[in-house]
Structure formats: structure tokens, C-alpha cells
Structure 1
Amino acid sequence: MSVVKENAALAALDFVEDGMVLGLGSGSTAEIFIDALGERIAGGLKVSGVPTSKRTAECAIEAGVPLVEPDKVDRINLTVDGADEVDPAFNLIKGGGACLLREKIIAQASDRMIVIVDSLKMVEMLGRFPLPIEVEPFGMALTAEQVFDALKSTGCEEAQTVLRQMKDGSGPLVTDGGNYILDSRCRKIPNPADTALALSQIPGVMEHGLFIDLADVVIVGEADHARVIELSRD
């Protein structure tokens, strides 16, 4: 277990209060948080969680975190999730684990979103990590052409879009929602909000990995502590 990831995940527990409904993110750092949350629940904390992926649900069940379907809750108080990149304005790239659609549904429905990362995920400009775009399999090649055009038109540099494959080479990766993932290697995304809007207007795009105006707190794990950075929206 990475110490910096653990420090970030444990610091997020300070924001959890009794009775909350929590959005449970996906990925290795989020799973550390879920395991630690399970220990708090064993000690008497009463919360429930809405998982953002099948893998997250399995992890939560193993940790003893009570789960609830998103359609069964009136509100989600707090979501804790990881990110692949975070810029100074708290714009995010997410989707390295192919869970971006469900992650964004839960983040958008939450009163507050906390992002837990290590310092390597903090960047001055998004784009170093490939931007995942979840697409409908039907007409995927046509959608990919429109994605490429949208990226170029909004200033993304050296845009290259490839279809994500299964690690065993058996074919395209299929998300929990039955879609494909296009990974767009841009190098720089100078206008994240413009790029997000352009991608959202493409019919075959189910969702993209640009999370704009969703994160409220970023917790950065360090070797011996965690830095908590809160975004001022004034």
C-alpha cells in the first residue's frame, strides 16, 4: 500500500459525519478510503455508500460498508474519489479506471466532492494523462472523428485518439455501462471548460473524463502527512 495514498485517504475520513450518504469513488486510493471507512463503521459510525463501479461495490461489501442504490436516496452528502490529474482550478481528468460515467453521475448529485490524490497528480495544465471519453459502440469510428475535431478546435495539442483495449488483448474494453473508451492523448488541454462543452455536444459521446466545477476539496497525500486544499468559489 502506498503511504502517500493512504495518508490522503485517511485525511478524507475527517469530512465524514454520522448519518451521511457517501458517494464511493473508484480506483486504488478510493479503495483505501473504503477499507478505512469500514473500520470506522465497525467502531460505530453509521453511514451508507453509493458505489460508482462494480469493483467499488465489491470492495465496499468486503469492508462492511452498507450500500444503497442511487435511485433509493434523496441526496448524496459527500463523494470521495480519486483523479488522474488535478489543475489549480480543481478541474479534473478522471476515467483511467473506465468508470467516468457513473463517477460523474454521483459527483454531480453530491453536495460536496473530495478528491484524494498524490502530488504527482497535481499539474499546471491538464493533458499529460490521456483524456478518457466514453462512447456508444454504434458508429464509434464516426464518433472518434468528431472527438478529434472537437479536441483540435478547442486548442488541444497533438491530439491522438485510440480505442482502449482489454489488458489481455481480447478486444475493446467494455465499461460497466456497456460502452467503449476512447483515450485521447492531447499533451495540453488549455481550455478544459470549452473542451468539455464541445465533447458533450457529440451525439455518440456518453460522457467524458473532464470534471469541471465539481471538486470542492483536494487532499494531496505526502510521505508523512496530507495537504488539504479547499477551493474558494466566491
Structure 2
Amino acid sequence: MSWTDKARVSAAAQAVRELKDHTTVGLGSGNTILRALELAAERIKKENLRISFIPTSYQMEIAAKKLGLKTASLDEETEPELALDGADQVQWRTLDLVKGGGAALLREKIVDSTARRLVIVIDEKKLAKTLGGPQPIPVEITPFAYASTLEKIRRISDKTSLRETTGKVGPVITDNGNLIADVYFRSLRRPEIVHEKLKKIPGVIETGLFLGMADTAYVGRKDGHVDILRRS
């Protein structure tokens, strides 16, 4: 196991302590949150907690059921007490996020935005002074007229490409049946402006910029420590 994997596990172990009995928790996607879910399942079994999870992808829904955990939806629980999620990049003071590396950004943003608190689990390599740079901003777009949408995105970005999948030929298809564009900007000093410009493009469904949403970030360090950052 690499130090980044160990750091994320350490951060996840501390983050799941936030889970409380008789609550509903929004559940992000990806390997970090999968490990957090496994740790949560151990705690739930040991302490006999009654917690329901709202998964944001088929991956997490299947994982939760395999672990014997109760699942719910926003149609049943419209305001989860907490959402637990990962991130591809975190601005260290504002806790603004880039998400969507796992192509679940639309469902994640819907669930994360409804939760009373959003808790992020990352390793220290995900921290950044400013968003963007080498980290692309994932953008979910419609398959219809995707080439036209991509061209419009290219006009306001430094580089844009359609995300290709591995294991088969063709683009990544989200759980919603849409496509993902990876959009590069040298630096995002005003990410809210970029988000607004992208959202105005017909064919753009949602961006991977999660601004002003995260309340707390558990950051696993290389030395084994876990820092707890709160939005300033």
C-alpha cells in the first residue's frame, strides 16, 4: 500500500467518527469513500448504529448492499445530516473542490448540496493553493451534439478533451448516460466565474467545481498524522 493510500485510510478512519446513530448520510463515490464505507460498516456493526446511506453511484450502491448497510434516496430523505465524499483537488483555505474523477459529479453535487454538512476525505497531495493547473475540471455534458459543446468549452479553456474509458473502446459514460469532458485552466483564481461561464453553454449539465460546499476536510499526511481543516 502506497503512502497516499495509507494517508487516505487514516483520514477516512477519523472522518467516520462523525457518523451518528439514527441519521442519514450522503455517500460520495470512488476508492477513498469505498474504504470509508467499509470502516463505517465495522463501526455500525460494533456499536449497533442505525444509519442509512444515500449512494451517488451504482458502485457505492452495490458496495453498501454487499456490506449489509441500509440505503435510501433523496426521494425518501430530502436533507441528510451529513455527506461524506472525496475530492480530486481542494483549495486549502476555502475548501473549494474539484470533483468528478470518478465520473459521478452530477449525483455527488445533488446529494452533497442537500446535506447539512459536507465532510471531505483526502490525502495531502490533493491540497492546492489555487484550483486548476494540472488538475482538469470534469464537466458532464449531453451526448447529443457533444462535438459542438466541446468546441464551445474549448473557446473559454486552455485545453479540453473528451474522457475516454479503459477496458473498452469509446468515451466514459456516466451513470446518467452522459459524457465527461476534462477541461484545463492554468489557474482558477475566480472559479465561480468559470463555473458560471461553463453552465451557460448549452449541452453542459454540471461542472466538477464544488464551491462553498465543504465544511470540513480530513487530510491524511505522509507522516501518518491527520489534519482537520475547516472552511474559513
How would you bin the TM-score normalised by the shorter chain?
over 0.9
Supply the distance in 2 between the matched residues of 1:33 and 1:92 (Cα, whole angstroms): 19
- Quick one: which of 135, 141, 166 aligns to 1:135? 141
SS of residue paired to 1:55? helix
The one-character-per-residue Cα deviations of 1:31-79 (angstroms, maximum 9, x if unpaired) are: 1110011111212011000001000111111222210122111311100
Percent identity (aligned): 36
- Quick one: which of 14, 29, 37 aligns to 2:17? 14
Supply the distance in 2 between the matched residues of 1:175 and 1:78 (Cα, whole angstroms): 24
Supply the distance in 2 between the matched residues of 1:169 and 1:48 (Cα, whole angstroms): 34
- Counterpart in 1 of 2:104? 99
8 Å contact 1:41–1:64 — kept in the other structure?
Answer: no
SS of residue paired to 1:11? helix
- Counterpart in 1 of 2:126? 121
Supply the distance in 2 between the matched residues of 1:148 and 1:191 (Cα, whole angstroms): 18
- Quick one: which of 26, 29, 36 aligns to 1:26? 29
Q: Residue 14 of structure 1: CA displacement? A: 2.1
- Counterpart in 2 of 1:54? 58
SS of residue paired to 2:212? coil
8 Å contact 2:95–2:230 — kept in the other structure?
Answer: no
Supply the distance in 1 between the matched residues of 2:145 and 2:121 (Cα, whole angstroms): 36
8 Å contact 1:133–1:181 — kept in the other structure?
Answer: yes
SS of residue paired to 1:70? coil
Alignment of 1:38-117 (within 5 A): 38-43=41-46, 44-87=48-91, 88-117=93-122
Q: Residue 169 of structure 1: CA displacement? A: 4.3
Supply the distance in 1 between the matched residues of 2:148 and 2:210 (Cα, whole angstroms): 24
Of residues 204-213 and 162-171 in structure 1, the stretch that sits farther from structure 2 once superposed is 162-171
TM-score (norm 1): 0.92
Between the two proteins, the alignment pairs up a number of residues equal to 225
TM-score (norm 2): 0.93
Supply the distance in 1 between the matched residues of 2:156 and 2:208 (Cα, whole angstroms): 14
Structure 2 gap segments, 5+ residues each:
none
SS of residue paired to 2:70? coil
8 Å contact 1:39–1:63 — kept in the other structure?
Answer: no
